[in-house]
Amino acid sequence: MENKKTIKLQRDCSALLIPSAESIALTKGTEVIVQQALGGTYTVKTGSSLVRIDSRDADALGLIPLHTGTEVTAASECEDVPVDHDEIRRQLRTCFDPEIPVNILDLGLVYSCHISRHPEGGNHIQIEMTLTAPGCSMGAILASDVKAKLMQARGVRSVDIKLVFDPPWDSSRISEAAKLQLGLL
């Protein structure tokens, strides 16, 4: 959303403070400015705080909900087919740090992705990923987003996300395209 204009909330809604992930309630009439609308969530500025609003509350912003891709299929309905590695990368590119308008794959937050057969059919995905700052309380929220989106890939029965901090993340892990997008080149 390039045109950052002030929006008055049309109804009460819940949000998460960034970076603490503390749940807060925003009241109808609160003025916010949408900073980014990516990956099925909205990062908005309200006063001096940044908060994350889920797509299910888009109507409070007067917006149409973004497609989130987080409608989880029951594991018993999992197709027993090989996982499409390109689909896994596409799903990871729909997950965003709430403060940086670049997906987690291009930010270099995903350290590894292992795919193995699940004993009940389908596949198990294990992701090792990090955060831009080790003390960030949004880690569990981001990991939950990643899991929900990967569960949408055909043939995926289960996903395990492990947050790691060794080696520490630094800006050298950002892709060239993301560096260009962020004005770092």
The model's pTM = 0.83
- pLDDT of the residue at 172: 94
Q: What is the pLDDT of residue 175?
A: 95
Q: What is the pLDDT of residue 3?
A: 60
What tokens does 163 get? 């947050």
Angle between helices 139-150 and 85-92 (to 10 degrees): 140
CATH code of the domain containing 93: 3.30.300.130
| CATH number of the domain enclosing 48 | 2.30.30
Q: Measuring CA to CA, which residue among 127, 119, 118 is closest to residue 156?
A: 118
Q: CA angle at residue 69 from 137 to 72, to 5 degrees?
A: 85
| Structural domain includes residue 174 | yes
**Which value, in Å, is the radius of gyration of the alpha carbons in the chain?**
17
Same domain, 48 and 120: no
Q: What's the domain range around 27?
A: 6-61
For the chain, 185 residues long, the average pLDDT of each consecutive 10-residue run is 79 95 95 92 93 94 70 60 92 92 96 95 96 89 95 95 95 94 87
Q: Are residues 127 and 40 in the same domain?
A: no
Question: Do 91 and 169 reside in the same domain of the chain?
Answer: yes
Go through 146-181 and write b for each residue having 16 or more CB atoms within 10 A of its CB, e for each that does not.
bbbbbbbbebbbbbebebeeeeebeeebbeeebeee
pLDDT of residue 67: 57
Q: What is the pLDDT of residue 66?
A: 63
